[in-house]
Amino acid sequence: MTEENSNGASGLLARVRGVIPSLPAGPARVGRAILDDPAGVSRMTLRELATTTGTSDATVLRLAQAAGVGGYRDLRLGLAEAVGSMSSAGRDGRLTADITRDDSPADVLAALAEEERSVITDTAACLDPAVLAAVADAVVAAGRVVIVGIGASGLVALDLSAKLERIGLHSRGLTEVHQAVTASVLLRPGDVLVVVSASGSTVDVLEPLRIAQERGARTVALTCHPRSAVAVADHVLMSAPGREHPVRPAAMSSRTGQLFVVDVLFTLVAQRCFDRASEAIADSYHALRHRHGEPPSAPPGSAARSTTATRTTPADQSQPHLQES
């Protein structure tokens, strides 16, 4: 298993939030205290935090270890740095601002805009560029890519699949378990299965993941919880979990971070097959331009593919693709 392991301060808070669901009651209570008041905890001694949370020194250290921190001193320093970063960015150092039923539209707009920005910032801090690069390499080299997500995560799976298809890669996005299992059975070494699950414990993605591994395919998990069941995948990409509201379940609020990961991954894939991606995007654009009220035209590259076309230089052929894309 290859797992992202960012040491950024913002990533520390995201990792704490991400591991809480998989922790026993004691360490989880410590984690929630950190998220409720990271500035206050950063000023506490180990014993003070244990007393405040009704736990023990060992329990606090288990939380630190689960969050990828070497010890309590590193935890305090990381929290202090995270609070400083949030203060300089205009954030108040808390991750738990609620939206009530009586909030005005302006308040809801401001609160959600801040939350979305925070999720993207925290997700970026959690991601390991080396893992992203390895996943992009595997996708480009794959004979086929199957992407599975259920419920709200299914929308993310379909988005990634559509992006890969747009640049000419063999990709299939699936949101139903029977189809996912069937597609996984047909995977072979060199193929790639991507599972998307905010919780990391959805049974309907765990079965395709197991089957794909048995078939020798490369596996990737996109999740908010790096210690969850999907962490058995070859590569784990963590997106920061969004805050849950009564009318906005966690799976929905987490989608912002997941879609950000998809955009980053797609961009890295497109870089690796730039010429093919540029031509595919330009061809699809020209095929659809008449549906957007623009005059139809010959797709770029069609003259170069014709046996009777006038010969052009490589620069002449590539320039229209870059302009249209």
pLDDT, one tens digit per residue, over 63-111 is 999 888 889 988 998 888 877 766 555 544 444 456 777 888 998 888 8
Listed in sequence order, the residues at least 6 apart from 29 whose beta carbon sits closer than 8 Å to its beta carbon are 53, 54, 55
Residue 207, both tokens? 């079965």
pLDDT value, residue 70: 84
* 101, part of any domain: no
Residue 305, both tokens? 């593919």
Dihedral class, residue 200 (left if φ above 0, else alpha if ψ from -120 to 50, else beta): left
pLDDT, one tens digit per residue, over 105-162 is 998 888 888 888 888 888 888 889 999 999 999 999 999 999 999 988 999 999 999 9
* 120, part of any domain: no
pLDDT value, residue 113: 85
Indicate whether 143 and 182 sit together in one domain. yes
Indicate whether 281 and 227 sit together in one domain. no
Indicate whether 147 and 199 sit together in one domain. yes
* 220, part of any domain: yes
Whole-number Å distance between alpha carbons of 57 and 83: 23
Which class for 100: exposed (0-12), middle (13-18), buried (19 or more C-beta within 10 A)?
Answer: exposed
Indicate whether 280 and 200 sit together in one domain. no
pLDDT, one tens digit per residue, over 251-268 is 566 788 999 999 999 999
Residue 166, both tokens? 């747009």
Of 55-59, 94-98, 134-138, 191-195, minimum mean pLDDT range = 94-98
The CA-atom distances, in angstroms, between 12 and each of 29, 31, 50, 78, 102 are: 16, 11, 19, 7, 33
Mean pLDDT of 234-258: 74
Residue 320, domain extent: 274-324
The values of phi and psi at residue 255, to 5°, are -65, -30
Domain count, the chain: 3
Indicate whether 200 and 148 sit together in one domain. yes
Indicate whether 251 and 236 sit together in one domain. yes
Domain termination residue (choose one: 49, 77, 96): 96
* 231, part of any domain: yes
Q: State the pLDDT confidence band at 306, using cuts at 50, 70 and 90.
A: very low
On the question of pLDDT at 1 being above 60, the answer is no
Where are any strands of DSSP class E within 73-216? 145-149, 171-174, 192-196
Q: What pTM did the predictor assign?
A: 0.71
Amino acid at 274: F
